[in-house]
Amino acid sequence: MTSKFSIKNGWLDGTAEFPFEIKPSPHCDNRECEDISLLVIHNISLPPGKFGSNHITDLFLGQLNPDEDEYFADIYKLRVSAHCLVRRDGSVIQYVPFDKRAWHAGVSDYCGREKCNDFSIGIEMEGTDDINYTDEQYITLTQLSDCIIQTYPDIGSQITGHSDIAPGRKTDPGASFEWDRYLKSLMINR
């Protein structure tokens, strides 16, 4: 199986088999290093446990309306982003080019190296720690990851969850994320 995505100038480019949108976020900047060598898997749902709205995009674009849900009152001013979001239907939204630093990891450490945003790519799965992800999400995540690894080969052996780089502070992608399924699919895809 080959990837249905490719990357041009940091942005996704691919076939309609895996639909994607580009929605540039202002919440990014230049990396402080040149080695992109870590892939971090996250989850997000807004409001928590609800899927299918544009609220995640609104948050990442700095446009979340605090009046739409009481939960948003505490988060609408956050300046956060991820490189991509994999929706429940398997579609992808890219917010930040892969060669730029997205603001997804926060205070973090991977194998003794701090500030993971500097050298990582962040992919958000639309979901929660305790609700199963969809088959479509796993298929797309595998294809997307394969494309990223082809472009940034050092990532191939360095894929982790947000909970692993920010233990005690973050729990995502959670117990509902099937790491074995995902990592085996990556191996089969190569």
Q: List the beta bridge partners of residue 8.
A: 11
Phi, psi angle pair for 119, to nearest 5°: -125, 15
Note whether 86 and 75 are within 8 A (CB): no
Tell me the C-alpha distance between 121 and 153, whole Å: 12
Note whether 148 and 98 are within 8 A (CB): yes
Tell me the C-alpha distance between 109 and 22, whole Å: 29
Note whether 155 and 148 are within 8 A (CB): yes
Tell me the C-alpha distance between 16 and 24, whole Å: 20
Q: Is there a catalytic annotation at residue 124?
A: yes
Among residues 68, 114, 124, 136, the one annotated as catalytic is: 124
For the annotated catalytic residues, the residue numbers are 124
